[in-house]
Amino acid sequence: MLDGSLDTRAGRLNDRYRHHAATEVLRRAVSDPDLGRVALVSSFGAESVVLLHMVSVVAPGLPVLFIDTQMLFPETLDYQRQVAGKLGLTDVRVIRADETEVSRLDPDGTLHRFDQDACCNLRKTVPLEQALSGFDAWITGRKRFQNGLRAALEFFEPEEPSRLRVNPLAHWRPEDVQDYMIENNLPRHPLVARGYPSIGCAPCTSPVKPGEDPRAGRWRGSDKTECGIHFIGGRMVRRKVPA
């Protein structure tokens, strides 16, 4: 049984690994008793290959949860298969929304046009919550530089009511990500070269112009900045969005 509240355990882990490098945070996290059962959640997006490569080195059998919203770019689906094979990841679990729920709530695939939060909830938030029900912690690729909501990100953070989140790359800079990819000869997502530095679902992702924030192409023209897996209404929660 895990010892202490989420806040206590997160604080203890941050103190324990405060001065560790990302790879060591990940290496130790997958076996630290304060975390329990751990999975990596990956979008196989523009920068995902960094964390996936680290996992392939320290724990290739770690469960990797990939949410297929069934609205992803074909390039993302191809890239997911390519990277998983190249890195030798042995437990990649493709997560999809319940077909009955999709038929009921989004029968014609247009929900994203008039209620983006509800679409993310249906296709991402709820399926991930179900997939994570057997884990005590999950690993993300979030970084402080990505936007204001992530500026104070720590290695370990509580996620009510019962899980911790692990952010090994929290303190990395953009150049750290690029250097790691180059040094390890990692395959790039093909859409990056076409102006997509942040990649989500095809209907809600557009190319980014020079000088724009890297996430400017996500839900362009709306106030939405997170899919709901990490934030809803500015709060770090992951549950069904109220009507």
Q: Which residue segments constitute the domains of the chain, with CATH numbers given?
A: 6-230 (3.40.50.620)
CA distances, 23 to each of 41, 53, 83, 177, 190 (Å) = 16, 10, 19, 13, 25
Determine the pLDDT at residue 130: 94
Determine the pLDDT at residue 220: 82
Determine the pLDDT at residue 213: 84
Q: Which residue has the higher pLDDT, 4 or 20?
A: 20
How does pLDDT run across 155-189, given as a tens digit for each residue?
Answer: 999 988 889 999 999 989 889 999 999 999 999 99
If you average pLDDT over residues 134-147, what whole number do you get?
Answer: 84
User: The pTM is what?
Assistant: 0.87
103 annotated to bind ligand = no
64-67 and 92-95 strand pairing: parallel
Residue 157 has phi, psi (to 5 degrees) of -145, 145
Our CA dihedral for 149, 182, 196, 76, rounded to 10 degrees, sits at -100
Residue 240's pLDDT band, with cuts at 50, 70 and 90, is very low
201 annotated to bind ligand = yes
204 annotated to bind ligand = yes
Please state, rounded to an integer, the average pLDDT across all residues of the chain. Answer: 87
Q: Is the pLDDT of residue 1 over 90?
A: no
How does pLDDT run across 202-228, given as a tens digit for each residue?
Answer: 999 999 998 888 888 888 877 666 655
Distance between CA atoms of residues 78 and 56, nearest Å = 19
Residue 83 has phi, psi (to 5 degrees) of -65, -45
If you average pLDDT over residues 223-242, what whole number do you get?
Answer: 46
CA distances, 94 to each of 64, 85, 141 (Å) = 8, 14, 18
Catalytic residue set: 227
Contact (Cβ atoms closer than 8 angstroms) between residue 158 and residue 10: yes
Q: Which residue has the higher pLDDT, 65 or 144?
A: 65
Distance between CA atoms of residues 199 and 180, nearest Å = 19
108 annotated to bind ligand = no
Residue 127's pLDDT band, with cuts at 50, 70 and 90, is very high
Q: Which residue has the higher pLDDT, 64 or 152?
A: 64
Contact (Cβ atoms closer than 8 angstroms) between residue 69 and residue 97: yes
- Residues of the chain above pLDDT 90, percent: 64
Which among 28-37, 196-205, 223-232 has the top mean pLDDT?
196-205
